[in-house]
A and B are shown apart, each in its own frame.
Chain A
Amino acid sequence: MRMDQRVKNHILKYLSQGLRFDGRKSDEIRDISIEYDVSKTAEGSVKVKLGETEVLVGVKLEVGKPYPDKQDEGTIMVNVELLPLSSPDFESGPPSLQAIELARVIDRGMRESNAVDFKNLCIEKGEAVWNILIDVCTLNDAGNLLDAAGIGMLAALQNTYYPKLEDGKINYKEKTDKKLGLKLSPMPVTVYKLGSYFIVDPLKDEEMAADARLTVTTISDGTICALQKGGDLPLTLDDIDKMLDLAIVKANEIRKSIGDKNAKK
């Protein structure tokens, strides 16, 4: 979908007066709501609403052989399905570049933060480990799918329970009360640059009009565990400085609003 220059001019005119189309401030995030256990066939699942944007995240656990170089560690895999059900711009077929980038960025944040204890996923060294398979399915694209997917992935993993193991085989019908558990709460926040303005949690039009974006995944102490710059225009060091600060503050604000135990006061 191409951006209409007139819409962009309008967004910039609004921002120059400190306004946005939906009445928010430039650094204001839409309301977040999380519904847990929306798919009983998954070992963990959530539906996240970020304003009108909606995603479903499901976690499946499978038993597999470990990698030869990491004999006592399990794995995670993140996949994003930009369903054509969720937007007229998405098409059926193999994953688009956007879907692949989105999945890889949220995957990196989770992986590199070490929030998942990979050694804990070992069942028998060299023989069997748990593999965590995370699928994000979009339901409605009203902008900022990446941050919504990040929130959903975190909430779904925190709410994942191991299924019963019987002689090395999984009985998916029965869940145990043992939680997968996460040590930390990595949270991706994408800051968008439009002209000389910075905004978070963009609407679809704002997302399309942006010159550049920076996704910053941080844990609660502010440590950065993943970065991804996107968009056509470059960023200055000064831009990056401001965007990082904003992302760290917003990440904690999101943790608080979803009741995350790792949120800082």
Chain B
Amino acid sequence: MAYKKRIDGRKFDEMRPIEAKVGVIDRAVGSSYFKIGKTIAYAAVYGPRELFPRFMQNPTKALLRTHYNMMPFSGSGDRVRPGPSRRSKEISLVTKHALEPVLKLDDFPNAVVDVFIELPQTDAGSRCAGICAASMALADAGITMKDLVGAISVGIVDGQVLVDLDYQEEAFDGIVSDVPIAIIPSTGELTLLQMDGQISKDDLMKGLEMGKKAITQIMDVQRAALKAKFKGE
């Protein structure tokens, strides 16, 4: 049985509604809010600041540290225990790799740039929402960047290739694959690629093309949010 119509009525290449804002956390150097469907991410950037312990300092460039964290009440089931888990540590790591290629970190030798991503409410796609938020917060912080980074999940639900799976689709009873990706829109290069489930090579390539298109739309929203702040709207 093929997945003919999406549970929430979207087209197969259609993302959930997106909202974005920058400059939402006063104490941070840069910050943002990114909402896609029912998944919400806040990101805050602190730094460049001096890195301790000193032996971790790199005299050629700044260190980028990313911290992904779900708030205890943000899961769809029981309370999530606060503090790092194996899952959140891995997501922090892939988030770092997703963002680092666009950052000009050699502007700040010996320093550290900290990016904190917090999720008050999740409904699948939280690492992608976190990366979208983080890239806006880094731009807001004035770190030199080659481009923004956009992220979205693509995948298969019961034979159908589609973008931006929500929780109901991830939990669908049938063959599901979930492929979160991040792309540098100006070059089309991927900085995040993970996958859960099973997919053929052809479907994967088809999904990646769909994801690429979706990410150009995400970037329009990110840009508009940044422009809105700096125009003082």
Partner of A86, one of B27, B43, B84: B27
A56/B120 in contact, CB under 8 A: yes
Within 8 A of B (CB), among A73-103: 79, 81, 83-88, 92, 94
B71/A52 in contact, CB under 8 A: no
B114 within 8 A of A: yes
CA distance A149 to B17 in the complex (A): 31
CA distance A45 to B67 in the complex (A): 23
Knowing A86-B44, A92-B67 touch, does A135 contact B28 (C-beta < 8 A)? no
**Chain B residue contacts of A87, Cβ below 8 A:** 27
A58/B44 in contact, CB under 8 A: no
Knowing A84-B116, A85-B118 touch, does A79 contact B25 (C-beta < 8 A)? no
B25/A139 in contact, CB under 8 A: yes
B26/A142 in contact, CB under 8 A: yes
B42/A85 in contact, CB under 8 A: yes
CA distance A158 to B77 in the complex (A): 21
Interface-central residue, A45, A79, A81, A139, by most chain B CB under 10 Å? A139
**Chain B residue contacts of A59, Cβ below 8 A:** 73
Which A residue's beta carbon lies closest to that of B47? A88
CA distance A141 to B74 in the complex (A): 21
B72 within 8 A of A: yes
CA distance A133 to B117 in the complex (A): 22
Interchain Cβ contacts within 8 Å, total number: 95
**Chain A residue contacts of B87, Cβ below 8 A:** none
A137/B71 in contact, CB under 8 A: yes
Which B residue's beta carbon lies closest to that of A81? B82
Interface of B (DSSP majority class): loop
CA distance A94 to B81 in the complex (A): 12
B185 within 8 A of A: no
Of A33-41, A105-113, A177-185, A221-229, the one with at least 4 CB within 8 A of chain B: A33-41
CA distance A153 to B69 in the complex (A): 21
Partner of B72, one of A58, A85, A94, A142: A58
B79/A62 in contact, CB under 8 A: yes
Knowing A83-B116, A133-B79 touch, does A41 contact B27 (C-beta < 8 A)? no
How would residues 40 to 51 of chain B score, 1 for a CB under 8 Å from any chain A CB and 0 otherwise? 101110100100
Which B residue's beta carbon lies closest to that of A131? B79
Knowing A39-B71, A39-B74, A135-B72 touch, does A88 contact B49 (C-beta < 8 A)? yes
A85/B26 in contact, CB under 8 A: no
**Chain A residue contacts of B58, Cβ below 8 A:** none
B38 within 8 A of A: yes
B53 within 8 A of A: no
CA distance A92 to B66 in the complex (A): 11
A172 within 8 A of B: yes
Q: B-contacting residues of A (Cβ < 8 Å)?
A: 38-42, 45, 52, 54, 56, 58-60, 62, 79, 81, 83-88, 92, 94, 133, 135, 137, 139-142, 172-173
In the A-B complex, the 7 residue pairs with the smallest Cβ-Cβ separation, listed nearest first, are A58-B73, A85-B116, A42-B73, A135-B72, A60-B79, A85-B44, A39-B121
